């Protein structure tokens, strides 16, 4: 192992604006510079991939990214670590940090777990999704927006749907970009947590960004650059209200909504449920970049691993 201190990516709130934009630009670099597997700045490193919840894009992206950067990979499933037999998070973190250079973890649970594991500087800890935030998704999203739009200046994003960990990450990320505007339209009772909105707005006050949240799907902004949604049933969660689908129905992205934003492209973090949170003609239409966005998960994973383990900017 390299004896230098590692960086952690636990929350976008921990990053400076410069660090965030550096990761985004490095992601777009990887999008245009193909790297052969096994040769790169992580040669000799070992990355653990620990997912307690299902994943197609994020798990595949980080696994492939580690290989392309030269690292070896060890994968842990939800029942592979002795956390399931009562070992503490702190003890698990001490053991893993003595053997691994990085741990990419999806818990979909309490973010304090990852902060406990990150209480050392020999192993990078990367949040691949907790209950409150999905930071690497937002980095991939901004990388996609930069690639498609050519600039991050003055981004105008309209998000419809549940105020989940993806929405939280978008709010924390866009708040760091001067002049950006995020319109969050979330169903009543399903908004972004108040603490996250407050943190994003404090940051936005410093950069001139605007973070707005309303609980209706009327009078949507016609000048949006991006129309964004996510699945209504977030991974690892359930809804106590048996009639929740009726509350969410007005927030389904339709062709008429997209038509009302003539300059916007459509984004979705996937997986998608056509006919639920989005009409098929939108997701599969010519203005959808959802599958380009999915590809950027790989590029952003490479940027995050380089930055966290080797300090590459």
Share of the chain above pLDDT 70, in %: 97
Position 118 scores a pLDDT of: 97
Q: Residue 67 region, left (φ>0) first, then alpha (ψ -120 to 50), else beta?
A: alpha
Q: Residue 248 region, left (φ>0) first, then alpha (ψ -120 to 50), else beta?
A: alpha
Q: Tell me the pTM.
A: 0.95
Question: In what order do the strands lie in the sheet containing 181-185?
Answer: 210-214, 181-185, 156-160, 226-229, 265-268
Distances (CA, A) of 169 to 20, 82, 302: 12, 30, 19
Position 238 scores a pLDDT of: 79
**Tokens linked to 269:** 């973090």
Find tokens 């549940």 and name the residue.
162
Cβ proximity of 254 and 283 under 8 Å: no
Per-residue pLDDT of 164-223, as tens digits, reads 999 999 999 999 999 999 999 999 999 999 999 999 999 999 999 999 999 999 999 999
Q: Do the strands 226-229 and 210-214 form a parallel or antiparallel pair, or are they unpaired?
A: unpaired
Per-residue pLDDT of 242-282, as tens digits, reads 899 999 999 999 999 999 999 999 999 999 999 999 999 99
**Tokens linked to 217:** 């799907």
Per-residue pLDDT of 28-69, as tens digits, reads 999 998 877 667 899 999 999 999 999 999 999 999 999 999
> What confidence tier does 2 reach under pLDDT thresholds 50, 70, 90?
very low
Angle at 297 between CA 208 and CA 20, to 5 degrees: 30
Q: Residue 255 region, left (φ>0) first, then alpha (ψ -120 to 50), else beta?
A: alpha
- pLDDT mean over 226-249: 89
210 pairs with which residues across the strands? 181
> Which residues lie below 8 Å from residue 67, measured CB to CB, with a gap of 6+?
37, 38, 73
> What confidence tier does 236 reach under pLDDT thresholds 50, 70, 90?
low
CA 144, CA 27: separation in Å to the nearest integer? 9
Distances (CA, A) of 197 to 45, 131, 143, 154, 269: 37, 15, 22, 20, 20
**Tokens linked to 157:** 């994003």
- pLDDT mean over 272-294: 98
In the chain the domains, ranked by start, together with CATH numbers, are 12-133+297-310 (3.40.50.1370), 137-293 (3.40.50.1370)
Cβ proximity of 230 and 190 under 8 Å: no
């Amino acid at each position: 192992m390299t004896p230098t201190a590692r960086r952690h990516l636990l929350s976008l709130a921990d990053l400076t604006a410069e660090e965030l934009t550096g990761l985004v630009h490095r992601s777009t670099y990887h999008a245009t510079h193909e790297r052969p597997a096994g040769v790169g700045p992580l040669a000799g490193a070992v990355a653990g991939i620990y997912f307690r919840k299902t994943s197609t894009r994020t798990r595949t992206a980080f696994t492939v990214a580690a290989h392309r950067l030269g690292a070896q990979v060890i994968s842990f499933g939800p029942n592979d670590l002795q956390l399931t037999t009562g070992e503490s998070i702190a003890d698990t973190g001490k053991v893993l940090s003595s053997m691994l250079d990085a741990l990419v973890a999806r818990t979909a649970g309490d973010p304090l777990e990852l902060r406990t594991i990150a209480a050392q500087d020999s192993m990078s800890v990367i949040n691949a999704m907790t209950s409150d935030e999905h930071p690497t998704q937002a980095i991939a999203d901004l990388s996609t927006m930069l690639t498609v739009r050519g600039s991050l200046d003055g981004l105008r994003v309209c998000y419809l749907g549940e105020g989940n960990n993806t929405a939280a990450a978008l709010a924390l990320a866009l708040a760091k970009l001067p002049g950006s505007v995020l319109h969050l339209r979330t169903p009543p009772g399903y908004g972004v947590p108040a603490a996250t909105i407050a943190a994003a707005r404090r940051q936005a006050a410093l950069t001139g960004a605007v973070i707005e949240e309303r609980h209706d799907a009327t009078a949507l902004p016609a000048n949006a650059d991006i129309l964004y949604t996510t699945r209504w049933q977030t991974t690892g969660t359930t809804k106590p209200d048996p009639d929740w689908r009726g509350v969410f129905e007005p927030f389904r992205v339709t062709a008429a909504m997209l038509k009302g934003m003539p300059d916007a492209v459509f984004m979705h973090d996937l997986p998608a449920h056509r006919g639920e949170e989005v009409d098929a003609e939108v997701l599969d239409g010519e203005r959808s970049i959802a599958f380009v966005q999915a590809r950027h998960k790989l590029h952003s994973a490479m940027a995050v691993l380089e930055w966290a383990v080797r300090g590459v900017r």
